[in-house]
Amino acid sequence: MTPWLGDACSLVEAFRARELSPVEALDACLTAIEASELNAFSYLDPDAARAAATAADVSLPFGGVPMGVKELTHVAGWPYTEASLVFKDQESGFDATQVTRLRQAGAVLVGMTTASEFGGVNLTRTRLNGITRNPWNLDRTPGGSSGGAAAAVAGGLVPIGTGGDGGGSIRIPAAFSGLLGLKCTYGRFPKGPSAEMGNVTAVGGCLARSVRDTARWIDVTNGYDRHDPLSLPRVEGWEAGLGTHLDELRGLRVAVAPTLGSAVVRAAQVDKLEAAADQLIAEAGLRRVDVPVRLPALDVAWALSGLVGVMAALGDRYPDCADLLTPQIRFGLEFATNTYDLRSAARVETTRRDFVDQMAELFGEVDLVIAATNPDVAFAAEGPLPEVVDGVQAGPGNNGALTIPSNIYGNPAISIPIGTVDDLPIGMQILAPHHREAWLLDLALIVERERPWPLVAPGAPI
């Protein structure tokens, strides 16, 4: 039996109509995962999943839906490795809040999807798990850090998977794999228990095949939790509200800035983006305004602030464990420990503070910004990160230049599939002010209607 190749919501509908049972859907997923060349899962829990599928209440939002959980997420009794050899034998003793809420919504947790080590690189290749591959082309990466989730969902292995976005880690793999990827306002999803409070950039989320799947995921997982004092109050009605904000959208000011003023983006991708943006602006009744968008390069400030969390996780194991780390993480830690002092930390915070003010000024002039999600299509699965785009030397920081700004500012941003270049997917990114995810979902709904994208990669499951 082939695994479900529609979206998660339609799978629940099939369960309720008794066209398919949760156990049958799970067995098809497990068979496809075992046969897959994608290396999208690092751990499977078939016995617990089958017990959950057998007892599934299909009246629940995700009742019976097989789902992957990103490797950097706590699930009680499952490995908690940070995708690192350093923690290869570590096991979690509790469920993250989002996992608890997904279980309560009826999700059947199949296993852990692969991620980059500590979520720090936008390709999924680690010494612990090897190389994860893109279902559109096995020689290419699905991106990172939520690369396993993207590969699993686009590759037809599970209909939806959890992700996390600290510098583009949902949007980058979504664009590389032809999926929808929404990074919500910081705090929309609680990060506890054991929430890290230092680097306030990372948010939870999902890799999804449809807009309604994303909205349902928000309905299930959003809302304040006492373990995360920065989490936001619960907001109801995301799925029910789809398509109801069209009057709000009409006349909103939008800037189309493919490069955001700092990235180097492939010309062929810019052409596709401009065409998709023009169509969306016309369909939604937006008002295009000519506002210069020149956001600074933030890769160094972002990386240095994020490495604080990596060092906290490693603790006294570092530097003795350095040889177990992937080269990018090892280099980053060496650089940070040799150059990062109190004055350096102050400079990073000054950069972040000034950038927040710059973004605030931008959203005083416009209501939305349309940009590329990635500089180019997916690169080689084994890396390295590309440093040249269209013959222009861009440097490794170019790979996250388009997504990092919304993590530092904390505003919502979405990547929407808009077609292909070289037979590989590309995404259009839309940035909105804080708490305006509903705008982004309705804009994505328009694109989904006018430019429907394939729910899975050609030839999936792979």
Active-site hit among 116, 145, 146, 231 = 145
Cα–Cα distance measured from residue 435 to residue 187, given in angstroms and rounded to the nearest whole number: 10
Cα–Cα distance measured from residue 149 to residue 152, given in angstroms and rounded to the nearest whole number: 5
Place of tokens 């780390």: 325
Cα–Cα distance measured from residue 262 to residue 298, given in angstroms and rounded to the nearest whole number: 9
Cα–Cα distance measured from residue 148 to residue 237, given in angstroms and rounded to the nearest whole number: 29
How many Cα atoms are found within 13 Å in the side-chain-facing hemisphere of 252?
25
CB-based contact 92:80 (threshold 8 Å): yes
Task: Kindly state the tokens that stand for 404.
Answer: 């990092």
Query: What are residue 160's DSSP bridge partners?
Result: 67, 208
Active-site hit among 70, 183, 191, 272 = 70
* DSSP 8-state code for residue 118: G
Contacts for 406 with CB less than 8 Å, ≥ 6 apart = 183, 412, 413, 431
Is residue 169 flagged as an active site residue? Answer: yes
Closest CA to 114 of 105, 126, 104, 100: 126
3-state secondary structure of 57: coil
Helix, strand, coil share (%) of the chain residues, nearest 5 = 40, 15, 45
Place of tokens 């995301």: 238
Is residue 262 flagged as an active site residue? Answer: no
Is residue 36 flagged as an active site residue? Answer: no
Closest CA to 225 of 172, 169, 187: 187
Cα–Cα distance measured from residue 344 to residue 440, given in angstroms and rounded to the nearest whole number: 36
Just list the catalytic residues.
70, 145, 169
